Amino acid sequence: MVPIFLGITVLSYLILTLTPGDPVQMLISPGQSAEDVAIKRRAFGLDQPVYVRYVKWLGELARGNLGYSFSTGAPVTKRVGERIVPTLKLTGAALLLSYLIGIPVGVLAAAKRYSAIDYLATVLTFLGISLPTFFLGLVGIYIFALRLQWLPVSGTMTLGGDGGFLDGLHHLVLPASVLAVAGAGIITRYVRSSMLEVMGQDYVRTARAKGLAEVLVMRRHALRNALIPVITLAGLQIPALLAGAVITEQVFEWPGMGRLTIEAINQRDYPVLMGITIIAAVLVAIGNLLADMAYAVADPRIHYE
Amino acid sequence: MDCATRLTPAFACEFARPVKGGEYMKGMRVWLAAIITLVVAALMIPAGAVGAPKSSLVVVSGMWSPPNNFSPINTDSSYGYYVVRFIFQGMMEARLENNQMRFSPALATRWEASADRQTFRFTIHPRATWHDGRPVTAEDVEFTVMTISDPKTETNRGAEIATIAGLTAGGKRVADQQLGFRILGPKSFEVRTKVPVDPQMFFERFGGNVYILPKHVLGSVPPDQLARHPFFQNPTVGNGPFKFVQYKTDQFVELVVNENYHNGAPKVRRVFVRIIPPTTMLAQLERQDLDLSAGFGIGEILIEDWDRVKEMPHVRPVTIRAPGYQFMVFNFSRPYLEDKRVRRAMAHAINRPLIVNQLLKGAGEIAEGPIPPANPYFNAAVKPWAYDTARARALLQEAGWDFNRTIILRVPTGNILRERTGDIIRENLVAVGIKVEIQKSDFPTHLAALTGKNYDIGLIGWAGPTDPDVSSQFRTGGQYNFGHHSIARMDQLLDEGVRLSDPARRKTIYNQFQELFADELPYVVLYYPNGRTVIAKRMSGVNYDIFGLFDYLTYNWVAGPQ
Amino acid sequence: MSDLASVSRAVDGAKPTRPVTFWSLATQRFLRHRLAVSGLLVMLVIAGIAAAAIWLAPHSPTAIDPVAFQAAPSATHPLGTDSVGRDVLSRLIFAARVSITVGVLAVAMYVVIGTAVGATAGYYGGKMDLVLSRIMDVMLSFPPLIIILFAVSVFGRPSIWNVILVLGLLGWPALARLVRGQFLALRDLEYVLAARANGSSDARIVLRHMLPNALAPVLVAATFGMANAILVEAALSFLGLGVQPPTPSWGNMLTDAQSLTVLERMPWLWVPPGFMILISVLSINFLGDGLRDALDPSLRL
């Protein structure tokens, strides 16, 4: 674990240093004096060599301090931390939605292979994964927010309130759906091919030969084993949950990690970028652990070393 | 599905028949139906039930990007200051209107310059108070000046106070020197400058751009920790017409009226400054969820959407003659760009009228200098070079240009119109025989390349204060002299312009400067784009100025019914 | 004698049967997949258009028509002009080149890197596998945007290479994992053990015995990867990090149309590139799907 984290931090720091662009220059207002600029540079520690800065940062990290954002002056933990919940809301809802749609449609398509339903499902899922997200988002806004006015244009809540659960949900529908479209397509294909593969296995044939009812065959034997690779897929998607959905967040003004990363990149806000990297790495590690556990539960053939 | 040849195993063939597994499929179908119902139900929640408050006492303003923080002395210059100006004020509000500098009282009721133009006296309004009830005093002003000039404070206001005695050219205190600030009474003070200065310039900079900090809240914070103090994320103690309520990250800032505002409590009770990307601003306007766009450079309408906005019955489109411009800078460290005939050739080659008429749809102006046409110091006698490809080619040949040479045009991403301008410029230059390769990069990389002299020609924009002193850009060694040029006569004129304090004499100097500029062409100024903003028709009393920002005299706003 | 002759003639005269190999069976199965075949045909047509761009396009893709900015389709400009007065049809055709080049080269890059790393990790196992797997994990948990930033800003040269680099750097860990999994499974097969016992060099074993059998899923992944590359290019263009104008790509043509007004009133700006993206991604996806069904392991003889 630790070597991976160290590796990640060193790589990040290296990348940030090698990338052209000066954070202080990004914060200068026209007419600002050269002395003010120099003071800022010193305050950011940018007048010191790279390895000194890295070691200092590491030391602070050991004490639980991620430093202060260059552009806002707020603590990095706060700036990154307040993005985690909205990000999880968005990507979590999208993931849930894509599985809710993908699993049943996939099973249907597998059971009725090469029928009209299968072809329809195929075309729809392929459409879903073939259109760029920002385009879908824009079209979604146009149809649902502008023409039909069923949904709000963007944002997480109505102005002025904490909104409440219903309001939050209302704002979540469009962005989560747009995100879920591609996901649902992939899940459907995955479930379909997994089901097909399992249905061709010996133990299913045996169960059927035993005279078990079709429903039981499906549910107990086929479905459970077909879902193993699907769970693996879910596990692989957990890191993506926290990278945030950059494009969707930009289009819908969603205050997530993806949007923060873009802002921080544009401002070359090194402390925030390092903070995002390390927090993302930690959460990814946790996510992978959970996925491995879920995998072990679902498939008793696998034992965890 | 090859059941006949048995290449597909038998049981799979059986699966294909819809009869088998029908029951199970029914289950799936039910689940699918349930999901669809749920989704449709969610969509059905009527917009009105959870819609935005549309009251005559609430105003919504929209800007493109979130503010960094709310520090009156250290926020990024545009988005942050837009919000700061609702909450904090300086002595007066200084704006250019109709070619004239106008000052409206903010915290001060009286301000005067001495005859020798070195002493300036201010009187603070007797009823000016902080949002927590304490009075705004001269001590607060002194504290603000001391803080800005402290060598340990991170700030960007140094240049605004730099003329005060006892400070360096960058606005920092010099060790043994006396600061030119004297408290005369609880509500009055006097400032002394190093040398006589143009009062208009002084009032604009010190009076208009220095926002006062509360000494009783921040007095005990060490200067080097000030930039990170949580107060600047949550500025609950201000002195302006509106009070800070909350900032929902990346979503909106909520402001509420300051009932005790000394120039009269605003009639608008609540202001939301909403962060809206340019693409969706149109949608918000159509749904009447937006009353104002923030203004030039920070909250405008996309040029594609402009015609549509003009058709909307409930908003008034406002075109601002903007003070900012886009230009092409030459890297003077490249010897082949030193001959001014080459630069003149490029100015003739670039089809600026096409850019303004077609790309900007006519919403812009062309001028051959860095002083905006709407500025009182603008020299109308200096005409821009005409679009003339024949002349361009002739000049290039005269100057001995090597037509096999490829030059690099650097274009920063982020400003779509500027990117498109880059494409047009390339075509124009290629048409007269200059080989050009475009290199695009994000803004920080671009800036680093310019300062690192790593380019031939580059595009960038600028919007400066109304005072015509442009030394930082055009003087040898100037901080923003991106082209690294050095023209002796220009240095002379610029120094003279700063030294003089008589506006009439300054005008002569700056006229000469603009003539020289058009001749030497350290930049080719491409265009002055107009700002495209909107004000909802239900609003009145909205003041804006040459900067096109609507955060000026905000306590005058009146919002009628929807 | 004559009986033998007539028998042998009868035998010799019989029609020779085709040898039934894995690949010929897979090809047959593929050809039966109607969608996949049409996908392949469409891609070939697009590739043909891309190759013949210079002859097919009516105008230069960068030439500006000074009187027609954002003009609707007309006789001179069959698909209208874009926001800088350039002919949409010509840009569309030249953009095919860019999108296909990016797709092919990016996928080639990460397939080569991923296979090399994954094969090494899977074959040698032990410490080598541990180290390489850790590196893969690091790359997979890294926020992709930071890698994109690096790749995009380091190069001062034409940005088509930036996009290829980005896709290559982001794509290889997933493929390496796949190949590693394959190799781990193949390693213990009998013929590999036999080859080892024989004293064959590692390189020979990997290249001759194991790689061909691991190839099928890699091929499928590569095909889907190409479709993904086209979409990622579009997404990068939206963020301003993709192929930059004046070089046309379907992604940057589509993002030119980022206002609701353009969406509603100037369909010629976004429908052509959007349609091309849709068609090519769909075709490649169908192709990949067909490949996957065709290479189904349950057919292996």
Q: What is the pLDDT of residues B231-257, one digit of tens each?
A: 999 999 999 999 999 998 888 999 999
Q: With pLDDT > 90 as the criterion, what percentage of chain B qualifies?
A: 46
Q: Domain containing A256 — which CATH number?
A: 1.10.3720.10
Nearest to B23 among A21, A214, A255 (CB): A214
Decide if B76 and A263 are in contact by the 8 Å CB cutoff: no
| Of the ranges A40-44, C8-12, C182-186, the best mean pLDDT one | A40-44
CB distance from C9 to chain B under 8 Å?
Answer: no
**Among A17, A60, A39, which Cα is nearest to A273's?**
A17
- Co-location of A197 and A281 in the same domain: yes
From start to end of A191-290, where are the E strands?
Answer: none
Task: Indicate yes or no: CB of A33 within 8 angstroms of CB of B284.
Answer: no
pLDDT of residue B44: 52
Residue C232 has pLDDT above 90, yes or no: no
User: Of the ranges A103-107, B168-172, C184-188, which one carries the lowest mean pLDDT score?
Assistant: C184-188
Residue A134 reports pLDDT greater than 70: yes
Q: Which of A21-35, A53-67, B133-147 has the highest mean pLDDT?
A: B133-147
Average pLDDT over residues A150-178: 82
Examine the fold and report which residue of A62, A86, A110 is the final residue of a domain before the chain moves on.
A62
Least confident of A125-129, B213-217, B291-295: A125-129
- Kindly state the tokens that stand for C35: 């969608």
CB C177, CB A232: distance < 8 Å: no
- State which residue of chain C sits closest to B416, comparing Cα positions: C256
Which amino acid is it at B95? Answer: R
The vertex-C21 CA angle with C16 and C25, nearest 5°, equals 100
The whole-angstrom distance between C253's CA and the closest CA on chain A is: 12
Please tell me if residue C19 touches chain B, with a CB cutoff of 8 Å: no
How many Cβ atoms from other residues are within 10 Å of residue C297's Cβ?
10
Asked whether residue A90 is domain-assigned, the answer is: yes
**pLDDT interval class at B30 (50, 70, 90):** low
Interface test with B, best of A18, A25, A32 (most B CBs within 10 A): A32
A18 occurs within a structural domain:
yes
Q: What is the largest CA-CA distance in chain B?
A: 108
Select the more confidently predicted residue: C44 or C12: C44
**Segment among A203-212, B219-228, C236-245 with least mean pLDDT:** A203-212
| C195 or B224, higher pLDDT | B224
Which residues sit opposite B103 in a β-bridge? Answer: B94
Domain count along chain A: 2
Best residue in B280, B304, B352 for a mutation probing chain C (most C CBs within 10 Å) = B304
Are C138 and A16 within 8 A, CB to CB? no
B167: nearest CA in chain A? A35
A22 interface with B at CB cutoff 8 Å: yes
Which range has the worst mean pLDDT, A219-228, B353-362, B497-506?
A219-228
- Indicate if A180 and A148 belong to the same structural domain: yes
- Is the predicted pLDDT of residue B414 greater than 60, yes or no? yes
Residues A9, A94 within the same domain: no
CA-based angle B523:B524:B527, to the nearest 5?
125
- Asked if residue A91 and residue A169 are part of one domain, the reply reads yes
Same structural domain, A46 and A150: no
A32 inside domain: yes
Q: Do B427 and C64 touch (CB under 8 A)?
A: yes
A237-250 mean pLDDT: 71
Residues A140 and A13 in one domain: no
HSE-up of C257 (CA within 13 Å, CB side)? 28
- Residue B7 confidence (pLDDT) above 90: no
* The residue to which tokens 């290019």 are assigned: C233
User: Which pLDDT value is given to residue A1?
Assistant: 66
Contacts of C265 in chain B (CB under 8 A): 308
Residues 6+ apart with CB under 8 A from B505: none
Q: Which of A62, A88, A107 is the last residue of a domain?
A: A62
Which helix (H) or strand (E) is B183 found in, with range? strand B181-185
Smallest Cα–Cα separation from C225: which of C291, C139, C274?
C291
Chains that touch A (3 or more CB pairs under 8 A): B, C
pLDDT over 70 percentage in chain B:
88
Q: What is the pLDDT of residues C1-41, one digit of tens each?
A: 445 555 555 555 555 566 677 777 778 778 877 888 888 99
Q: Rounded to an integer, what distance in angstroms lies between the CA atom of residue A283 and that of residue A288?
A: 9
Name the residue with tokens 């209208």: C80
**CA quadruple A264, A270, A275, A281: dihedral positive or negative?**
positive
Check CB contact under 8 Å for C240 and B358.
no
Query: For residues B89 and B144, what is the distance between their CA atoms, to the nearest angstrom?
Result: 12
Model pTM score = 0.83
For residue C132, give every residue at least 6 positions away whose Cβ sits within 8 Å of its Cβ, in sequence order, or none.
C117, C120, C121, C176, C180
C282 CB neighbours in chain A (<8 A) are: 126-127, 130
DSSP, res B18: T
> CA of C154 to nearest chain A CA: how many angstroms apart?
6
**C215 has pLDDT over 60:** yes
Chain A CB within 8 Å of residue B92 CB = no
Whole-Å CA distances, A195 to A106, A190, B312: 8, 8, 54
- pLDDT above 70: residue A301: no
Mean pLDDT, residues B166-184: 89
Average pLDDT for A191-200: 76
Does A134 reach chain C within 8 Å, measured CB to CB?
yes
Please tell me the predicted confidence (pLDDT) of residue C207: 73
Closest residue to B21, CB basis, from A73, A157, A214: A214
pLDDT band (50, 70, 90) for residue B14: very low
Q: Nearest CA of chain A to the CA of C282: how many Å? A: 6
pLDDT in tens, B187-203: 999 999 999 888 888 99
- Give me A255's structure tokens: 């205050």
Residues A80 and A179 occupy one common structural domain: yes
> DSSP string spanning chain C?
-HHHHHHHHHHHHSPPPPP--HHHHHHHHHHT-HHHHHHHHHHHHHHHHHHTHHHH-SS-TT---TT-SSPPP-SS-TT-B-TTS-BHHHHHHHHHHHHHHHHHHHHHHHHHHHHHHHHHHHHH-HHHHHHHHHHHHHHHHS-HHHHHHHHHHH--S-HHHHHHHHHHHHHHHHHHHHHHHHHHHHHTSHHHHHHHHHT--HHHIIIIIIHHHHHHHHHHHHHHHHHHHHHHHHHHHHTT-SSPTTS--HHHHHHT--SHHHHHH-HHHHHHHHHHHHHHHHHHHHHHHHHHHHT-GGG--
Given CB atoms, is B224 within the 8 Å cutoff of chain A?
A: yes
Q: What is the pLDDT of residues A229-239, one digit of tens each?
A: 776 666 666 65
In chain B, which residue's Cα lies nearest the Cα of A73?
A: B228
Residues 25-54, chain A: which have Cβ within 8 Å of C? none
Cα separation, A188 vs B12, whole angstroms: 19
Predicted complex ipTM exceeds 0.90: no
Which residues on adjacent β-strands are paired with residue B536?
A: B315
Q: Kindly identify which residue of chain B lies nearest to residue A216, measuring between CA atoms.
A: B24
Q: Classify B274 as helix, strand or coil.
A: strand
Output the pLDDT for position B47: 42
Tell me: do A164 and A17 sit in the same domain. Answer: no
Residues in chain C with CB shorter than 8 Å from the CB of B282 are 259-261
Answer yes or no: is pLDDT of B176 > 80: yes
Residues A244 and A250: their CA atoms lie apart, in Å, by: 11
User: Do B305 and C259 count as a contact with CB atoms less than 8 A apart?
Assistant: yes
Task: Examine residue A69 and state whether it is found in any structural domain, yes or no.
Answer: no
Nearest to A137 by CA among A159, A153, A121: A153
- pLDDT > 80? residue C300: no
Residue A67 inside a domain? The answer is no
**Beta carbons of C146 and A273 less than 8 Å apart:** yes
Smallest Cα distance from C227 to chain A, Å: 8
Give the model confidence (pLDDT) of B278-288 as tens digits: 888 888 888 88
Instruction: Confirm whether A112 is domain-assigned.
Output: yes
Count CB pairs under 8 A between chains A and B.
239
Q: For position C286, what pLDDT does the model report?
A: 84
Domain containing A253 equals 76-298
Tokens 């189904």 sit on residue: C296
Surface of A (206-235) touching B: CB under 8 A? 208, 214-215, 218-219
Whether A258 contacts chain C with CB within 8 A: yes
First to last CA, chain A: 16
Residue for token pair 């107009």: B530
**Peptide bond connecting C246 to the previous residue in cis, omega within 30 degrees of 0:** yes
Q: Are the C-beta atoms of residues B425 and B304 closer than 8 Å to each other?
A: no
pLDDT score for B239: 93
Q: Does residue A30 sit in the same domain as residue A163? A: no
pLDDT-based confidence at residue B21 (cuts at 50, 70, 90): very low
Give the domain-ending residue among A29, A62, A95.
A62
CB atoms A284 and C264 under 8 Å? no
To the nearest whole angstrom, how far is the Cα of B50 from the nearest Cα of chain A?
Answer: 6
pLDDT digits (tens, 9 = 90+) for B525-554: 999 998 888 998 888 888 876 666 777 788
- Average model confidence (pLDDT) across chain B: 85
Please tell me which residue of chain C has the smallest CA distance to A14: C150
Element (H, E) at A251: helix A246-252
- What pLDDT does A224 receive? 72
In a domain, A275, yes or no: yes
Same-domain status, A91 and A51: no
* Same structural domain, A88 and A235: yes
In a domain, residue A71? The reply is no
- CA trace torsion A70, A75, A81, A87 (10° rounding): -20
* Cα angle A131-A136-A137, degrees, rounded to a multiple of 5: 145
Q: Residue B346: which of B361, B336, B360 has the closest Cα?
A: B336
Which of A200-214, A240-254, C237-251 has the lowest average pLDDT? A200-214
Q: Where are the beta strands (DSSP E) in B343-434?
A: 364-365, 406-412
Identify the band that residue B20 occupies on the pLDDT scale cut at 50, 70 and 90. Answer: very low
Which pLDDT value is given to residue B232?
92
- Scanning every residue of chain C, which has its alpha carbon at the shortest distance from the alpha carbon of A10? C138
Range with the poorest average pLDDT among A9-18, B132-141, B151-160, C90-99: A9-18
Residues of A in contact with B77 (CB under 8 A): 29-30
- The pLDDT of residue B131: 94
d(CA A215, nearest CA chain B) in Å: 5
pLDDT of residue B39: 61
Helix (H) / strand (E) containing A6:
helix A2-18
Most confident of A133-137, B271-275, C204-208: B271-275
Q: What is the pLDDT of residue A34?
A: 81
User: Which chains share 3+ C-beta pairs under 8 angstroms with C?
Assistant: A, B
The whole-angstrom separation of Cα B224 and Cα A246 is: 35
Question: What CA–CA distance (Å, rounded) separates C151 from B482?
Answer: 26
Give the residue, C241 or B446, on which the prediction is more confident: B446
Check residues A184 and B107 and name the one with the higher pLDDT.
B107
Is A157 close to B248, i.e. CB distance below 8 A? yes
Shortest alpha-carbon distance between residue B28 and chain A (Å): 6
- For residue B391, pLDDT over 90 is answered with yes
Determine the distance in angstroms separating the CA of A21 from the nearest CA of chain B, rounded to an integer.
Answer: 4
Q: Do A102 and A211 share a structural domain?
A: yes
